[in-house]
Amino acid sequence: MQVIRTVAAMQDLRKTLPEESIGFVPTMGYLHAGHASLVARARLENACTVVSIFVNPTQFGPNEDFANYPRDEERDLELLETNNVDFVFMPSALDIYGAEKNTAVVHLNTVADTLEGAKRPGHFDGVCTVVAKLFNIVRPKQAYFGQKDAQQLAVIKKMVRDLNFAVKIIPCPTRRDPDGLAMSSRNVYLSPSDRATALLISRGLGAAKALWQEGQRDSALLVDRVRQEMAHGNFAGIDYVELVNGEDFAKMTEALPGAIIVVAAKVGQTRLIDNMVLE
């Protein structure tokens, strides 16, 4: 496994690799089994695999956890080497964005304006900008993203379509711990009591999906079923529980196949997101 720490070195390396051979997994590090599943699929479907580790400052708001976001380079590299990754790209923020404070920004309307976009102004500008930069540097044939960040996935798919990137976006299923909690780097923040509360999110989503599979199509009733389960916990706040179209994240009154129930809530000091596709 080779570690590349500068944009120039990554671009030079890319010139030596055959075209249409790169499977790319962009991450912010503090890797877990969910990331490993993305890597495994990328390795299966591509001649070589590149994983980036970059905690992107531009997608964090002023009162968010950028400074305290969990980081463990040694642990991450060990996991990637164990999973037979070919190249790890670990640039600095200075190398990605340059010394100037103002940089070109990729901004999307519609799908990026609701829910996470509304709750975290500028978040998806930061996501789109860094992903566009990474795509231009690595030039992958396929890029792999987890479905846990469902709105981010929809935003990136739209950006790729709108800007004609020659990369195929591969969605990968959400990985969960045995107790049902969606895997997230931020789970490390949860105390045992916080985790007990957090588990009510996935339980509520599962209960709503079971109701849908029994024939219920009223989105309000399905959303209410999630909230009923979450009402048993000690949440610091619930940002939203909504049923949306998986393409543009518009709210739906009828829960058609492929609709997504999305949740964002704060447990203690930790903000968590999760979702369930109705299928």
State the SS3 of 183-223.
Answer: CCHHHHHCCHHHHHHHHHHHHHHHHHHHHHHCCCCEHHHHH
Taking the mean position of all CA atoms in its chain, how far away is CA 246? 15
Catalytic residue among 35, 107, 123, 232: 35
Helix, strand, or coil (residue 3): strand
| Residue-wise pLDDT tens digits, 41-90 | 999 999 999 999 999 999 998 888 899 899 999 999 999 999 999 999 99
Round to whole Å and give the CA distance between 184 and 125. Answer: 22
pLDDT of the residue at 18: 83
pLDDT of the residue at 102: 64
Matching CATH topology for 2-172 and 185-273?
no
Look at residue 251 and tell me whether its pLDDT is greater than 80: yes
Look at residue 254 and tell me whether its pLDDT is greater than 80: yes
User: Which strand ranges, in their side-by-side order, compose the sheet holding 260-267?
Assistant: 237-244, 260-267, 270-277
Measuring CA to CA, which residue among 57, 64, 161, 149 is closest to residue 108? Answer: 161
- Classified by CATH at the fold level, domain 2-172 comes out as Rossmann fold (3.40.50)
Question: Residue 262 class from Cβ within 10 Å (0-12 exposed, 13-18 middle, 19+ buried)?
Answer: buried
Q: Which amino acid is at 210?
A: A
Q: How many CB atoms sit inside 10 A of residue 69's CB?
A: 17
| Residue-wise pLDDT tens digits, 89-134 | 999 999 999 887 667 899 998 889 999 999 999 999 999 999 999 9
pLDDT of the residue at 110: 82
- Pairing between strand 270-277 and 260-267? antiparallel
- Classified by CATH at the fold level, domain 185-273 comes out as Pantoate--beta-alanine Ligase; Chain: A,domain 2 (3.30.1300)
pLDDT of the residue at 133: 97
Domain range list for the chain? 2-172, 185-273
Question: Measured between alpha carbons, how far is residue 11 from residues 6, 47, 134, 157, 228 in Å?
Answer: 9, 18, 10, 24, 51
Round to whole Å and give the CA distance between 262 and 219. Answer: 12
- Mean pLDDT, residues 38-43 taken together: 97
pLDDT of the residue at 21: 85
| Residue-wise pLDDT tens digits, 208-229 | 999 999 999 999 999 999 999 9
Residue percentage of the chain with pLDDT more than 70: 99
DSSP annotation of 176 reads B
| Residue-wise pLDDT tens digits, 125-171 | 999 999 999 999 999 999 999 999 999 999 999 999 999 999 999 99
Active site residue 35: yes
DSSP annotation of 164 reads T
pLDDT of the residue at 32: 94
DSSP annotation of 105 reads -
